[in-house]
């Protein structure tokens, strides 16, 4: 089953010319039918997002009267007014808050998890295996469990509502996955490289910085993009821990949700702006994204 790795490495680019049995079953449907079905499915997946884009480019009055698909007959109704209105409103602040929360979180998670991952992979200490099993267990702990206790803790320490509070929460809950991913990757580094460095008397820190970290780049890239997207797209943690002044886009948009009908202008344009950066990242780094998703996995 070594082919799996090759396939994984190729990410979304399915270059395999081979045809499986399943595909032969499908043969009976006729190639033309499959093409048509796939085009329809593709459209089905794309159209909702396109709809959001068109809605965001029309005034509330127009959106209130007709569906976005009428745009094909009346392209003149498009306007960027909704986006212009967002500038200078609370949305702009929330955009920067999202950045201020996401970037430090991603950096911290990578740094801290890489250190721990290296220790779990290449250092010998009592309780190593048990410790790692704990990390594996923590992988799926629901965030909800920490909301009440951490709100109380933040209250006592005075960081409630601040950006650092939100960041630390994200970092902690991002760590199990990050440690897991990086440890599994670091384990694959050829032992000879590390042994050579240790023979040369390099300190562990030096080895970590100049050998392990550079070699771990593909995994770190995967982790980075994942972590970035999770935090960028989070709503629950922000909902509880971010004050109005520090709230990210998701919370800002959520607060407009109760009056969906009359806030479609803000919501559609805001939602679209919020998904542009993840989409760009996704298309630029989709290979890492998929690798991250499957890293060290499919057997």
CB of 2 to another protein, least distance (A): 8
Q: What share of the chain is helix, strand, coil (3-state, %, to 5)?
A: 80, 0, 20
State the nearest-atom distance from the C-beta of 282 to another protein, in Å: 4
Restricted to residues 48-67, the positions that interact with another protein (CB under 8 A) are 48-49, 51-52, 55, 60-61, 63-67
Segment 245 to 284, residues that bind another protein, using CB under 8 A: 245, 250, 253-268, 271-272, 274-275, 278-279, 281-283
List the interface residues with another protein, window 279-298 (CB under 8 A): 279, 281-283, 286, 289-290, 293-298
* Smallest distance from another protein to CB 187, Å: 4
Sign of the dihedral defined by the CA atoms of residues 31, 36, 39, 41, in that order: negative
| CB closer to another protein, 67 vs 75 | 67
Interacting positions 65-104 with another protein (CB under 8 A): 65-69, 85, 90
3-class DSSP state of 28: coil
Task: Count how many Cα atoms sit within 13 Å of the Cα of residue 66 in the half-sphere of its side chain.
Answer: 11
Residues 152-191 that bind another protein (CB under 8 A): 152-156, 158, 160-161, 168-169, 171-181, 183-185, 187-191
First to last CA, the chain: 7
Cβ-based nearer residue to another protein, 49 or 75: 49
Site map 5..44 versus another protein, x via CB under 8 A: x-xx---xxx-x-xxxxxxxxxx---x--xx-xx--xx--
Element (H, E) at 213: helix 213-215
> Residue 68: CA atoms inside 13 Å, Cβ hemisphere, count?
19
Token output for 244: 């109005």
Locate 237 and state its tokens: 């943690």
């Amino acid at each position: 089953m070594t082919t799996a790795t090759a396939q994984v490495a190729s990410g979304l680019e399915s270059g395999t010319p081979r045809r499986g049995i399943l595909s032969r079953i499908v043969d009976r449907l006729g190639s033309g039918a499959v093409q048509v079905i796939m085009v329809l499915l593709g459209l089905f997946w794309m159209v909702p997002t396109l709809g959001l884009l068109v809605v965001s480019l029309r005034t509330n009055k127009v959106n209130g009267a007709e569906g976005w698909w009428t745009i094909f007959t009346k392209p003149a109704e498009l306007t960027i007014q909704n986006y212009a209105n967002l500038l200078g409103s609370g949305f702009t602040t929330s955009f920067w808050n999202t950045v201020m929360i996401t970037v430090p979180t991603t950096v911290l998670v990578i740094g801290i998890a890489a250190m721990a991952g290296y220790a779990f992979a290449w250092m010998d200490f009592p309780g190593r295996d048990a410790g790692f099993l704990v990390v594996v267990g923590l992988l799926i702990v629901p965030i909800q469990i920490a909301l009440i206790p951490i709100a109380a803790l933040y209250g006592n320490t005075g960081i409630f509502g601040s950006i650092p509070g939100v960041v630390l929460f994200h970092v902690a809950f991002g760590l199990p996955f990050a440690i897991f991913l990086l440890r599994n990757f670091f384990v694959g580094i050829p032992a000879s490289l590390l042994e050579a460095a240790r023979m040369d008397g390099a300190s562990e820190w030096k080895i970590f910085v100049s050998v392990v970290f550079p070699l771990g780049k593909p995994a770190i890239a995967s982790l980075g993009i994942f972590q970035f997207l999770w935090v960028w797209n989070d709503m629950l943690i922000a909902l509880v821990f971010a004050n109005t002044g520090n709230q990210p886009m998701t919370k800002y948009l959520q607060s407009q949700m109760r009056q969906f009908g009359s806030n479609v202008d803000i919501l559609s344009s805001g939602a679209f702006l919020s998904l542009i950066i993840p989409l760009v990242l996704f298309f630029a780094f989709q290979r890492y994204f998929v690798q991250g998703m499957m890293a060290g996995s499919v057997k």
